[in-house]
A and B are shown apart, each in its own frame.
Chain A
């Protein structure tokens, strides 16, 4: 077991509030899966900033995600994801994204159960899909700024929840829409696709193209559903294979 190490975060986007955390993290926590670790802010280190801070609601609980980019070889890559429950008072900030983001989820969300049982903090090794989506979102945020588009924090949070719940999923292409929503698309060379526009507030606009092999015909459906219900639509359309490797 290696001793505690310091991880500092870097800035992706500029925002309205700044903190300077240094985070001592026990390295065994990076072995994967849900796990807790020693973590404290010491008021030093690299600057992080806020952009996608989602407002809280009475039915929801808040936590903060710190996206760590501490890989010396690939500094743009995501090296760890730190989840902090706001209720535990470990950080006194409402700062967010790029490097730090606030997320608000229903109290029944599995992340909340895990966070509470781990004492309010979790450090996870990012899955390949999380790493790829994070990298892509960083690119999209820059393009959105160029186009003077404000991306939706709620859309980001729903996208992040969706892919985080599917660690074995294949990596989608992700796009930033004019309305500030993120759209994730899984396609194959046969023209089949699952396209999910995360519209915020747990709502998803979906477009699904799947080949009905028995009919030799492409079937197409579109609609709007809740984030919770949309996997059932994907399964019913026999399109689940597009989300798996």
Chain B
């Protein structure tokens, strides 16, 4: 239900543009707010709970609202690990959370919120939590 937190054991995908990666390195700038965002957009994999991770990825690609470029990626984070890492390691102990925000077009959409805000350090800390990278276009 929208507004509910995503469970800690679940996973989210973030669309990262090719400009934010070099080789295997994903930069923290891929986790910064874009101009039209107030929170950071992700897609919740386990929204499709009874599917395999591959199927979850396919369904997220299918409903993704933007037009990714060939070299863009989706990167996968574990919700609980990302929350703990940011809170433990940020000098100001900032907290993040992932909140359901799906609609008909993009049912898996979720938002990352930050308290008191999402700064460059939060963004760089999130790169430490990347579990896997997938091509945005298969």
Contacts and interface: CB of A to CB of B under 8 A. Distances in A.
Interface of A: 136, 140, 143-144, 146-147, 149, 173-178, 183, 185, 187, 191, 193, 195, 197, 205, 207, 209, 218, 220-222
Interface of B: 17-23, 25, 27-29, 32, 34-35, 69, 71, 89-91, 119-121, 124-125, 128
B32 A178 contact: yes
Contacts of A207: 28, 120-121, 124
A218 B89 contact: yes
Contacts of B23: 173
The main secondary structure of chain A at its interface with chain B is strand
Given A144-B19, A175-B20, A207-B121, 18 more contacts: A143-B18, A143-B19, A143-B69, A146-B69, A147-B19, A149-B19, A173-B25, A174-B22, A175-B29, A177-B19, A177-B29, A183-B27, A185-B27, A191-B128, A195-B120, A197-B29, A207-B120, A220-B89
- In the complex, which of the residues A175, A177, A191 has the most CB atoms of chain B within 10 Å of its own CB atom? A175
Contacts of B71: 143
15 contacts: A143-B69, A149-B19, A173-B25, A175-B20, A175-B29, A177-B29, A178-B34, A178-B35, A183-B27, A187-B25, A197-B120, A205-B120, A207-B120, A207-B121, A218-B89
Q: Would you list the 7 A-B pairs with minimal beta carbon distance, nearest first?
A: A173-B22, A176-B19, A175-B27, A143-B19, A222-B121, A177-B29, A207-B124
Contacts of A173: 22-23, 25, 27
A155 B120 CA distance: 18
Contacts of A193: 124
Contact of B17 (A147, A174, A218): A147
A6 to B, nearest CB: 34
Contacts of A187: 25
Contacts of B120: 195, 197, 205, 207, 222
